[in-house]
Chains A and B, each alone.
Chain A
Amino acid sequence: MTANTLNDTNEASVHDSTTELGHDEHHDHKMTGLKRWLLTTNHKDIGTLYLWFAFIMFLTGGALAMVIRAELFQPGLQLVEPDFFNQLTTVHGLIMVFGAIMPAFTGFANWMLPMMVGAPDMALPRMNNWSFWILPFAFAILLSSFFMESGAPNFGWTFYAPLSTTYSNGSTAFFVFAVHIMGISSIMGAINVIVTIMNMRAPGMTYMKMPLFVWTFFITAYLLIAVMPVLAGVVTMLLTDTYFGTSFFDAAGGGDPVMFQHIFWFFGHPEVYIMILPAFGIISTIIPAFSRKRLFGYSSMVYATSSIAFLSFIVWAHHMFTTGMPLFGELFFMYCTMLIAVPTGVKVFNWVATMWRGALTFETPMLFSIAFVILFTIGGFSGLMLAMTPVDFQYHDTYFVVAHFHYVLVTGSLFSIYAGAYYWLPKWTGHMYSNTLSKWHFWCSLISVNLLFFPMHFLGLAGMPRRIPDYALQFADFNKWVSIGGFAFGLSQLIFLAVVIKCIRGGEKAPAKPWDGAIGLEWTVASPAPYHTFSTPPPQKDIDNADQHEH
């Protein structure tokens, strides 16, 4: 990489903000107050709504986790009944998966995709409004069941039959309708993403010139439209089994409860990549920016993402090794699962190679990204351990599994969301965030998250089962540390809230491109991004500058 190209990037033309503002006044349909948010079809407004909604859900799910950790602080039953404990773990999982991580990524997609491909808005703006505004209803339905006689769903976020059918506490109908609405919302969001990327790219932006961020969201959207309907199908079967006398999963009527697990995980495994592929996109944007180099191996990143997406469809039964599969099945799913480590390894090596000999600086987005690479890799390794059939028989349903998926979802997905939020906050708000506070947020989160999740590996290896409100005495010390880590991590997230509010209210004025190594069309518009951007497509020069290939 030569100094010359660096300069080119730095001098990427900044659109005249006055014309953009004039454009705004001309249209003059930015309504005020509540109506603006209810009726908005603007991708930036909807992105903001998604992000705030995700953060509120994150705090809600986090509050449930705090109660879980308080109960597990010491052995014995102190605070909650076992049945309520099951409701807590179930709703915590559902909210974090469907309410926090997925909407947060959809928020990023809405805010950034049109700007990154040089489009004026998402392709289907009114459907966009609809897909967001049905979400609060889904979670209102889900959470309201806490206040009902039956209680909230208590069968685990994986809602295995017959726990959710024969042995349901009566919350199944509310749960199913909530999941249906979440599914419809995700499908509409995904259709919007695909149509935007396929039809609205600025002239001159070929598929292989798209930022990797766009690629990962593109592939994720395909995964969503492929598996969310399967989820809708399986919860429908659950509903009719529970209330209308069908026997999809009921052995008495010729059904099979193990089949539930097959159909659920046929959705469930691609679902976990739906929650991590966008993270790969965000990290692949940020690491090059603060390494002041182009992304190492852009094309291999695209192919790696596609292979991960493809492989995700043929590995589902690794969640079910202990259901009594024949040896051939176990070997097939074990080898396919281990194969995923290859494209994932390609990505990790590419990120490291991008940093290699780069002019690194450690702004908060970069800190979160580096933490992501290291900690997500730890989660990946524990995943490899779980993929091995013989040892999985020991690890299955223990805290080792809990440690694994929290490393990939919290220090993976969530950290990438924080990295992305810090990276684009200046673009969103027009102000720089507080550097000191954001560093506090990072270091507190980093230390507490490891205190929270790392000892869980040992607990799991020692045999502590997941989803239990009480445990044997020998697990007491580790659980105490885990709980302290949990409370600290929970509190640390309030720092982020403070940073964001402060940043919206004011702060150092952000230039159009606050990061000197950043590339991408979003930095060619003013900060904060005008209400309407790229009403006319960006010039070819800007598109070429945004190309992530190494030159």
Chain B
Amino acid sequence: MTDKAQTDTNTAKPHNKTVKKLLFVVLSMFGFGFALVPLYDIFCDITGLNGKTNTSAVNYQANGIDTSRLIKVQFITRNAQGVPWKFEPILNEINVHPGEMKVVSFYAKNNAQHDIIGQAVPSVSPGMAANYFHKIECFCFTQQPLKAAEEVEMGLQFYVDLALPKDINTLTLSYTLYDITAKSS
């Protein structure tokens, strides 16, 4: 076609160069979209923005106990849609001094007729407090395989950092329980 001939002879070369540059921008932005995923995690790790707590055990590292402050730590649990477990904290809340180590437990029972592997995902509110809530031991670090009708008491050992900002007096630790049987098999 004439249009094509015109384009090819007169102007194809400079166009190709520009098009290549623009395609490079397009591809890098597509990559950037995916790069946002690890970047987001790193950013949240550093700043503790989204309430994610440490995902593996840390050692107790506080210099003493600050008895002048008393922090209320609340525990709430929630099942993701359709997980047939009874899952609840033994204690709904507990008062701790910053730096003081505490152990609490959670109760879980598989009410289904079949085995289910559960995974509890923690989140701290307010989100800014997540970096000051340290878990020394937690059932959320591992998967919880429960046979049909099996029940279990699961432990959580934690302490609140001495550096917890002064304006935060209450922490809520929320666990959401997911059924990951399909994903882990």
Q: Which residues of A contact B (CB under 8 A)?
A: 27, 29, 41-42, 120-121, 123-126, 166-167, 187, 191, 194-195, 198-200, 225-234, 237, 245, 248, 251-254, 256, 258-259, 262-263, 266, 324-326, 329
Contacts and interface: CB of A to CB of B under 8 A. Distances in A.
Contact of A41 (B1, B22, B33, B119): B1
Contact of A124 (B19, B37, B52, B127): B19
Contacts of A41: 1, 3-4
Interface string B93-129: 0000000000000000000000000010100011110
Contacts of B126: 324
Given A191-B22, A251-B178, A329-B49, A230 B30 contact: yes
Interface of B: 1-4, 6-7, 11, 14-15, 18-19, 22-23, 25-27, 29-30, 32-34, 36-37, 40-41, 44, 47, 49-52, 55, 80-81, 119, 121, 125-128, 176, 178-180, 183
Contacts of A227: 29
B121 A324 contact: no
Given A27-B2, A166-B81, A230-B32, A123 B25 contact: no
A195 B178 contact: no
10 contacts: A187-B26, A195-B15, A195-B22, A199-B18, A228-B26, A232-B30, A245-B183, A248-B37, A252-B119, A252-B183
Given A29-B2, A191-B19, A225-B22, A234 B33 contact: yes
A233 B34 contact: yes
A235 B36 CA distance: 14
Describe B's contact surface by its main secondary structure: helix
Nearest to B82: A166
Contacts of B81: 166-167
A199 B6 CA distance: 15
Rank and list the top 7 A-B pairs by shortest CB-CB distance, nearest first.
A233-B33, A252-B178, A229-B30, A229-B29, A230-B33, A251-B121, A41-B3
A252 B36 contact: no
A195 B119 contact: no
**A interface: dominant SS:** helix
A229 B1 contact: no
B37 A259 contact: yes
B40 A259 contact: yes
Contact of B4 (A126, A167, A234): A126
A381 to B, nearest CB: 31
Q: Which residue of B23, B33, B37, B179 has the most chain A CB atoms within 10 A of its CB atom?
A: B33
A324 B19 contact: no
Contact of B18 (A198, A232, A324): A198
A217 to B, nearest CB: 15
A326 B3 contact: no
Given A187-B26, A191-B19, A232-B33, A252 B2 contact: no
A43 B30 CA distance: 28
A124 B3 CA distance: 10
Given A29-B1, A29-B3, A229-B27, 8 more contacts: A42-B3, A123-B7, A125-B7, A226-B29, A229-B26, A254-B55, A263-B36, A329-B49
Contacts of B34: 233, 237
Given A41-B4, A191-B19, A326 B128 contact: yes
Contacts of B19: 124, 191, 195
A244 to B, nearest CB: 12
Contacts of B50: 256, 258, 324
Contacts of B3: 29, 41-42, 121, 125-126
B113 to A, nearest CB: 22
Contacts of A245: 183
A37 to B, nearest CB: 15
Contacts of B41: 256
B15 A252 contact: no
Which of B3, B29, B41 has the largest count of A CB atoms less than 10 A from its CB?
B3
Nearest to B83: A252
Contacts of B179: 252
A260 B15 CA distance: 36
A123 B11 contact: yes
Nearest to B180: A252
B29 A199 contact: no
